[in-house]
Amino acid sequence: MSGLGGLNKSAHGVVVGLVQLQLPNVKTPADLAAQTQRICEMVGKARRNQSTMDLVVFPEYALHGLSMDTNPEIMCTLDGPEVAAFKRACIEHRIWGCFSIMEVNPGGNPYNSGLVIDDQGEIKLYYRKLHPWVPVEPWEPGNLGIPVCDGPNGSKLALIICHDGMFPEMAREAAYKGADIILRTAGYTAPIRHAWKITNQANAFCNLAYTASVCLCGSDGSFDSMGEGMFCNFDGTVLVEGGGRVDEIITAELRPDLVREARTGWGVENNIYQLYHRGYVAVKGGAQDCPYTYMHDMAAGTYRLPWSADVKVTDGTSCGFAPPERNYQG
């Protein structure tokens, strides 16, 4: 199915490379510039590594590392030099790229943002992480929803970031909007390894979508990221799986045309369709209602768990962050 990692590319295939990038240590603007250059060099490595590659994906925190530093001097903007360098690299090496930046937010904490840039240097997808990894991460909750874009060779791409992938609603929303390849970038460390694997598989199977997921790799002297690049087929099986080798690029050929075939042709386990067509054998068209209390409550602004009053960790003070004073504005 993966065409020997994309070496034998089919007419309908999309070859994706997942970069298990060395975890950087970025403290100063000079560090940021050096890491930007390193990422651009890795774009070149991806192209030299495989001439058939359509898209190279870098992990979350590839540019900034795991320090959670919100120093304005090392934050990025869409029109800044870092994004400009990524655009030039994609043009030079004739390849699509997925990149991570910590983005300036004039109204509050920075955003944890992801970009997909095409081989002409155009930003095709711009996403702000909806679910920062609380209580560890200080980033502003994203406010752009979950965008989907047209990708290479007829694909539809979505990007979710790290902790996002632990919420089944995230991958479901991406697939609902048409994504057949769901990218997931992360900086996760070893304690999350099992949850990482099973959620990547579940997100694929439950939505009849490919998932292509990658973490940072190696140590910065304080933290150890795990690498663990992996591709999951739309039936939930693992196609290709990386380990902990720093800067290795894990590759696979994905077939969006087969996703489309499954989504329209499967009866058994066509879960994303059957969610809204319950029991269509018994009733015409199935039951088209919303029987889920939590969905109604979220929409009404009344979401409350039976144990909400007993939850002990509700801000970032345990990780050294001051309690927030602003309400979310959306």
- Catalogue the active-site residues: 60, 129, 162
Q: Which residue's entry shows tokens 């992360």?
A: 186
Q: Which residue's entry shows tokens 């067509």?
A: 277
Q: Which two tokens stand for residue 152?
A: 């290479």
Kindly report whether the peptide bond that precedes residue 191 is cis, defined as omega within 30 degrees of 0: no
Query: What Rg, from alpha-carbon coordinates, does the chain have?
Result: 20
- 121 burial (CB, 10 Å; 0-12 / 13-18 / 19+) is middle
Identify the bridge partners of residue 317 per DSSP, sorted by sequence position: none
DSSP secondary structure string, 135-201? TT--PPPP-S---EEE-GGG-EEEEEEGGGGGSHHHHHHHHHTT-SEEEEEE--BGGGHHHHHHHHH
Are the beta carbons of 53 and 6 closer than 8 angstroms?
yes
